[in-house]
Structure 1
């Protein structure tokens, strides 16, 4: 209710003034002249709007005095209120605030989403890939140079991500992940500390510019810390040493072409009758095409090309490789709903 009033307070104030004037007029005529409520209402309206109609009934001296008082006190106020309402509608402010109000309501109902802090070079790419993955996400950016139009209908909050209130408005308490890609390591550290305090179960991925910052960000609560320059340099070097391997890996990563997808499937996403079966049993029931190429145990150990006799247990994950249609068929077959 507070947000509703904040967005439409100008309209509420204007309507409140109009209703107050009408209420005072009705009470005055009923009390001074003894008229009915309907007659008092009609007389009040033709008086404050100065339309010049005849009086409803012959008035006493006290009635005339009250009418003069009502005209003097309400003329400017009523004109201002009508002007404010008209301007609010004609100028388009109503549409603007209504969109803001709808956005705020949708943010309040948002859950299981990813928050991207910063819409620079790194944040832009992260948002682009999340959109391709069809993941729910929103962007926080404080730069006045970035507007909602620049994000192509992406959910957007203009503000400072280092402020707790902005993170709360972005739904950090119900989010599943947060990517902080701010240009300064100190700001990223601040975001990580605040987000971890607000949501202990949040998966936090942070950008870093130096090796010394990586350790601090991990201590602050970041699950993963990425140095874009280092990753980019290592990738370019790998293209020199193993060009075909790197191109193949780039193809597996969901980029624009998406000829092949590598997807992780959590133990919790599997149907109950398959949660403790072996990898061989799972693959035997699947349509051919998808391959389980990796396994992560509950202890965090990774196994490449896992043995088919490994049992899928709580806290574990499977890594499945296939093209988009094969992955979709695999998920549909086992009733797996990928996180949105």
Structure 2
């Protein structure tokens, strides 16, 4: 039964148990011995604590009988309270509460981070990719054993909480987040998370996992911007490795999955500095300045242009898809930022 009591309730229970004999003792000594409040309190504390300081004032026979019952009654209460306190400390609840509070304080300072709901295989893969690109993220996972991989890492933020609860998403800083990835094993839970997250932050980019094809439409209606079906993608990828093995291996290299020093990044055209702004791709001079290449464009209406003509006119609402190695990307970022 004790395991079902919350930490706050345990603290209240211990405090109440300790207060009961003190209240009875002070009241008894004041009524029986006509003692002052301070003398009665001091006598009660020395009695229930069994420190043996002696009588603060002479006790009558009634006072001594009262003291005997106060000591006997307090022994059980004191022993039970001590066991609760010891269990609270030994099980790590006290230190866990301190760690959780510190973690929440750190998360409050995050801006433009990503919330990852669920830390199974898909969640771990998403976190590894985010960490590789140095994008801050917060993990929400209700099963503590799944978080053991990241426990103790100061640069990773995590909460051992249920992602389907509004309070958990708020604790993870959803109001200031840039995106949310929900990889919970149950599609219904992912739908609920997407729906709740969209209500808490209308500008949030939401990516959801789906196990069944029937959940795709539900997740989109709930507010998910993209829905990923890992099993379907995995099967299609395995088949494509038979049909077009070299092409797919090359795509894996471009996506960074093969471990090569290759990065694909997107840059807003409006983000470029004045010395980079031009009327077309060739005028940007990105290849000469950084060594990276523009391999695609995303237009304002959401459509894409693959391998755009270098003389194509650019628009302020366009995004540039750029390919290069880590050194080239750092050079480009330094020119932009």
TM range (shorter): 0.7 to 0.9
2:125 alignment partner in structure 1? 125
The residue correspondences of 1:1-340 to structure 2 (distance < 5 A) are: 7-11=7-11, 13-15=13-15, 17-18=17-18, 22=22, 37=38, 42-59=42-59, 67=67, 70-71=70-71, 74-141=74-141, 146-151=145-150, 155-157=157-159, 161-209=163-211, 211-255=213-257, 257-267=259-269, 269-271=271-273, 273=274, 277-278=278-279, 279-283=281-285, 287-303=289-305, 304-307=307-310, 310-313=313-316, 315-335=317-337
Question: 2:290, 2:331 within 8 Å by CA — same for their partners in 1?
Answer: no
In 2, the alpha carbon distance for the partners of 1:84 and 1:208 equals 44
- Deviation string 1:5-41 (CA, Å, 9 cap, x unpaired) is x64543454345546755775687689656584x555
Q: How far is 1:192 from its partner?
A: 2.7
Question: 2:290, 2:329 within 8 Å by CA — same for their partners in 1?
Answer: no
Unaligned runs of 5+ in 2: 1-5
In 2, the alpha carbon distance for the partners of 1:161 and 1:86 equals 31
Question: 2:262, 2:326 within 8 Å by CA — same for their partners in 1?
Answer: yes
> How large is the RMSD of aligned CA atoms in angstroms?
3.9
Q: Compared with structure 1, are the counterparts of its residues 223 and 58 closer, same or farther at alpha carbon in structure 2 (3 Å cutoff)?
A: same
Q: How far is 1:261 from its partner?
A: 0.5
- Deviation string 1:43-90 (CA, Å, 9 cap, x unpaired) is 333222223332234456786577567546544434433443344334
In 2, the alpha carbon distance for the partners of 1:11 and 1:226 equals 45
Unaligned runs of 5+ in 1: 1-5, 336-340
Question: 1:49, 1:75 within 8 Å by CA — same for their partners in 2?
Answer: no
Q: Compared with structure 1, are the counterparts of its residues 7 and 117 closer, same or farther at alpha carbon in structure 2 (3 Å cutoff)?
A: same
Bigger relative CO (Cα 8 Å, ≥ 6 apart) = 1
In 1, the alpha carbon distance for the partners of 2:239 and 2:44 equals 83
TM superposition score normalised by structure 2: 0.75
Q: How far is 1:222 from its partner?
A: 1.9
Q: How far is 1:237 from its partner?
A: 4.3
The alignment partner of 1:320 has SS state of strand
